[in-house]
Amino acid sequence: MLFIYIKRIFIGFYSLLKGFKVTFKNLLKKPVTLNYPVVKQPMKERFRGMVDLYPDKCVICYQCIKICPTAALDLGHKTLEDNKTKNITKFTFNAELCCFCGLCDEICPTEAIFLNQMYEVSYFDHKDLIKIDLMSPEKYKNVDGGTS
């Protein structure tokens, strides 16, 4: 009985040392984490951030509205008197509903709507989040980490 007890202590100690070997090997390696707020990782090219729009490129085809699985986009337009020119009256984006799937980006025929590189999206007011005016050039200016 005593022999088994001592044997178990010995084996436990041995596997502890073996584990420490792995740990010490990692102690000498470079850190894998970033000192985040100071050092920021650049986003990948295909990264799906906030929904953004080039208003000039939009041809008002409504495909992004139809494909959006969560109905986060809202578009309205009016036709001018010559029955040819269309003007966007509103194009808003609800960041709270958005699931960042990127289907609107994929389906857009003129690449007007796209997902930008923003990832730090915190707002002070709830109202700012649910009705982002995509037509405004200053839509993400007051957001922490906003670029456009």
Partner 1 sequence: MGDLVTINMGPQHPSTHGVLYLELQLDGEVVVGCKTHLGYLHRSIEKIAENRTYTQFIPFTDRLDYLASMNNNLGYCLAVEKLLNVAVTPRAQYLRVIIAELNRVVSHLVAIGTFAQDLGAYATPLFYAFSDREKIVELFDSICGSRLTYNYMRIGGVSGDIPAGTEQVIKDFIKYERKQLIEYNELLTYNAIFLARSKNIGILSKEAAINYSVTGPILRASGVKWDLRKEEPYLVYDQFNFDIPVGTVGDSWDRFKVKLDEIEQSLRIIEQAIGAIPEGNPVSKVNRVFRGTGEIYLRTENPRGELGFYLVAEGGFNPTRCKIRSPSFSNLSALEELIKGLNISDAVCVLGSLDIVMGEIDR
**What does the per-residue mask of binding to partner 1 show for 100-119, with x meaning CB under 8 A?**
xxxx--xx-------x----
Alpha helices in the chain (DSSP H): 2-27, 63-67, 103-107, 126-130
Exactly one of 6, 11, 34, 59 binds partner 1 (CB under 8 A); that residue is 11
Kindly identify the residues of this chain, within the stretch 13-32, that bind partner 1 according to CB under 8 A. Answer: 14-16, 18-19, 21-23, 25-26, 32
The piece of 61-69, 88-96, 125-133, 136-144 that touches partner 1 (CB under 8 A) is 61-69
**How many binding residues for partner 1 (CB under 8 A)?**
31
Residues contacting 142, CB < 8 A, separation 6+: 128
Nearest to partner 1 of 31, 37 (CB atom): 31
Determine the Cα–Cα distance for residues 89 and 97; give it in Å rounded to an integer.
21
Determine the Cα–Cα distance for residues 123 and 49; give it in Å rounded to an integer.
15
